[in-house]
Structure 1
Amino acid sequence: MPGPTPPPVEAPARHSSPSPALGQTINHRSSFAENLRHSPRSQRHPSFTQAAVQELLNHPPPSKAGDPRFVGRDWRQIRVGELVEKSEVRWAELDVGVEQATKMLIDAGPPNVILLREKAQDTAACGTFDYSDLNAYLLVVVGLANPEEAQLVDFDALAKKTRDRESIPLREIQTLAKKGPLVTLPESADLSKAIEHFGSGVHRILVCKDGTTEVVGILSQLKLVKFLWDNGSSFPAIDAFYPMVLKDLSIGTPQTIAINGDRSLSDALQVMSNEGLTSIAVVDNAFNVVGNISTADIKLLTSSSKLPLLQSSCIHFISVILSERGIGDGKDSFPVFHVNPYSTLAHTVAKLVATRSHRMWVVEAASPSPSAPATPLATPSITHAVLSSPANSTPASPSLQAAFPAVSAAALPGARISGRLTGVISLTDILNLFARQSGLNPLSPNDQRARRRRSSSSSIRPSIDRPSIDSARGSSVDLRR
């Protein structure tokens, strides 16, 4: 089998303009996807219609009988090994090229991570490769990364290899993304151990065969939340929380990072990489949520023909995301990435599970009545707005004008699509709640977030403004405009 092809574009010098020229090397460079058997489009997940999502919210899975294996058991004493499957563990050696690993990551799907090892016969993981790593690598390749002093030599070496069209092995990009240490648990450990880690901000745990370092499964925050959701009727202590509204539960945080929809996609990717985020809210000029961009969407940029999207607006890229998911003309669009303070926990978890998301954006409630739908049904969709752009709007990427016209953040009916951004609730917040109410002692997720932001504040590019906007409700939104 032939080796991986070189990276798709030539990396500009470290002090060059942060925006790659659209017509320089992009059009004739080899791409990530040219030698891949399947494109990201073929890996799309079915989109949710308004009716399908509303049906999920009205009739959540906890109303169904849970898995009989767990009926009558204390969820805290269920072993982590019972929730994982060895088939979900995918391996790559550290000397595998980034492009080959990217193909593996896209093809494999959830849990969206490749475990790394030194030799093919090893069963212990020494690292991971996921979409955060791919995002960090892409920023280096196109000259948009902002290295810290200790990273300058490595970044220069990567830039030189890119210019020389050499293959770059995974071992050389392991320090690019902001990541925590690997967390492992033996398969006989119970869920109380796992939920303490998850409630403290750990996103995934490697499950090992008892008494060894052999990885036999991967347990993620989302997998655990889905398990507790699907089997809620078997766990009364957890099930009791689902009818409660977010405001009464006092979970989540008002400290929120967002980006204005008129900013370029490259700015959004930089913010996520610098802040160690897996997703970011996209807002209009009145701070209303109009979309969501995650690191998993980076797979749409693995072809050199799509790299001009880095210079398009975030709103523009959202239209591409929706199009790749099979959504056309706004017919199937449904703003599923937000909730309000009067949404129930069941409503929130249903959205997280349905969209496989790590967080929901909290917006101002239109009405304090819990009976009012938290997400309006009969409102203009963002897809419709994007595909019906006014004549005086200017697409951010002229070469994509015919396929993906764009509108400005000022032209979107954001208040009717969602509401003003006031906070965020994540899987970490939900699992932290379950852990605390079960007598466990996870670390504070807000303290973890504050430490992460302090550690990354010095690495934000000067071109991205960081005004802090305090609303009348006391929330703080760090809006990247």
Structure 2
Amino acid sequence: MSNDNALHQLLTSVSCRDLVDRTQALRSPHPPSFSPPEHPICLDSELTVQEACAALAKHRISSAPIYSSEEGGFIGMLDYKDVVAYVLAVLHKIPHDTVVDSEMEVTDIVKRALTQGHANVPVKLLSNMSLKNPLVVVDAAAPVLDAVEEFVRAKVHRVVVLDKSVDGKPTFLGVLSQSTVAAFVASKFGKLSSARIPGAHWPRGDQTIADLKLVQGEVLSVTPEDTVVEALYRMHENQISSIAIIKKTSDGTEMWGSISMTDIKEVLGRKRGWSQLLQPTKAFFTSLRNTQAIENDGRDAVPSFVVHPSTQVITAIEKMAATHTHRMWVVDNSDGRTRGVVGVLSLSNVMPLLLM
């Protein structure tokens, strides 16, 4: 396998079915309290929003297709962008002079906020509410390269993998995400991988983030004092999935942490947890990371989530695979000192590189 086409050959030689089957092996070890699901997860369209969020949180997944027995197939996807869009719409309907009880559950908020008092909103109404995660299907026998092409074409983070059966009824095999593909590439070309392809490398992956002009985009942020709901508003309005928590210092700015849309599973996935929406981002971030550390037997559940303009692309992909994140903050350290966040690198930026 030559260096010039090693990546292309890899992505065309492995099917989407094969990569879905390998997903668990590509992920970092789960905490002791977590057992991966035996079957791919999909959500019944009649589940309530709270039940659907609890299912996502239980299985530690950020999205799942919604199945309707009435329609006889999948009707869309649900991810945390949809849930955030729903929560923000609900909160926006509450008059400013309404006293919000932080002990209320999401269903109680819905009952008070929505004019017709729908306390048990079915998850089918949230399908693609954010308008950012359309249902895209790929055939199980198709090469992984086809899935990457769909990531780029449809601007989605994940695709549903269906197996065409003899009787014409497709079988749901699972969801293939950008994260899974990134972890796969890292396992074969990463500098720290024991499964690396002998004698082959990906030349573009050896280039730096700066070389490939990937340090781009306005850095949106909140302060440690801003509330979680304010952070969610900014993410939703700017169509991003995470936001930096940046503290102003006498020398400039300091990267304090970040909030991701997937973090709200800690809010909506457990009883009365939504009160955390009213917390300052600093308190929320600290509490969330402490909880994750406990679940991981004291290990840091969120290793370094920053890269530098001089970081090689393959190293950045390895970091994103290790931290299970879609985005890394690019921090300038060109003069030997950290001078603040200068950009964002996302898996959506990386996927087009896999097609070159």
TM-score (normalizing by structure 1):
0.56
Q: Choose from 340, 344, 356 the match for 1:420.
A: 340
Equivalent position of 2:85 in the other structure: 136
Q: Secondary structure at the match of 2:266?
A: helix
Pair 160,139 (structure 1): closer, same or farther in 2 beyond 3 Å: closer
Deviations 1:261-319 (A, max 9, x none): 32221110112223332211111123432111111110221356444432322122111
Q: 2: CA distance between counterparts of 1:281 and 1:354?
A: 19
Contact 2:247–2:254 (CA<8 Å) still a contact in 1? yes
Contact 2:90–2:113 (CA<8 Å) still a contact in 1? no
Contact 1:352–1:359 (CA<8 Å) still a contact in 2? yes
Q: 1: CA distance between counterparts of 2:7 and 2:118?
A: 57
Does 2:283 correspond to 1:316? yes
Equivalent position of 1:474 in the other structure: none
Q: Choose from 42, 62, 75 the match for 1:91.
A: 42
| Structure possessing the higher radius of gyration over alpha carbons | 1
* Aligned 1:434-453 pairs, distance under 5 A: 434-436=354-356
Q: Secondary structure at the match of 2:47?
A: coil
Equivalent position of 1:388 in the other structure: none
Q: 1: CA distance between counterparts of 2:8 and 2:151?
A: 24
Contact 1:252–1:426 (CA<8 Å) still a contact in 2? no
Q: Choose from 290, 307, 318 the match for 1:350.
A: 318
Equivalent position of 1:223 in the other structure: 180
* Aligned 1:157-236 pairs, distance under 5 A: 164=117, 166-174=119-127, 176-200=129-153, 201-210=155-164, 213-232=170-189, 233-234=196-197
Q: Secondary structure at the match of 1:256?
A: coil
Q: 2: CA distance between counterparts of 1:118 and 1:332?
A: 39
Q: 2: CA distance between counterparts of 1:429 and 1:105?
A: 26
* Aligned 1:259-274 pairs, distance under 5 A: 259-274=222-237
Does 2:243 correspond to 1:277? no
Paired positions, count: 307
Letter in 1 for 2:74: A
Q: Secondary structure at the match of 2:174?
A: strand
Structure 1 gaps of 5+ residues are: 1-69, 147-155, 369-414, 437-481
Q: 1: CA distance between counterparts of 2:13 and 2:94?
A: 45
Aligned residues with identical type, % of pairs: 23
Q: 1: CA distance between counterparts of 2:122 and 2:288?
A: 29
Q: 2: CA distance between counterparts of 1:257 and 1:214?
A: 41
Q: 2: CA distance between counterparts of 1:71 and 1:435?
A: 9
Q: Choose from 246, 254, 269 the match for 1:288.
A: 254
Q: 1: CA distance between counterparts of 2:301 and 2:40?
A: 33
Q: Secondary structure at the match of 1:114?
A: strand
Deviation of the 1:222 alpha carbon: 0.3
* Aligned 1:379-418 pairs, distance under 5 A: none
Q: Choose from 364, 388, 409 the match for 2:332.
A: 364
Contact 1:74–1:235 (CA<8 Å) still a contact in 2? no
Q: Secondary structure at the match of 1:293?
A: strand
Q: 1: CA distance between counterparts of 2:71 and 2:317?
A: 39
Deviation of the 1:170 alpha carbon: 1.2
Q: Choose from 278, 299, 311 the match for 2:265.
A: 299
Q: Choose from 248, 251, 255 the match for 2:211.
A: 248
Contact 1:205–1:218 (CA<8 Å) still a contact in 2? yes
Q: Secondary structure at the match of 1:425?
A: strand
Deviations 1:18-65 (A, max 9, x none): xxxxxxxxxxxxxxxxxxxxxxxxxxxxxxxxxxxxxxxxxxxxxxxx
Contact 1:93–1:120 (CA<8 Å) still a contact in 2? no
Letter in 2 for 1:194: A
Deviation of the 1:349 alpha carbon: 1.7
Pair 218,304 (structure 1): closer, same or farther in 2 beyond 3 Å: closer
Q: 2: CA distance between counterparts of 1:167 and 1:228?
A: 42
Q: 2: CA distance between counterparts of 1:277 and 1:346?
A: 23
Q: 2: CA distance between counterparts of 1:145 and 1:176?
A: 19
TM-score (normalizing by structure 2):
0.74
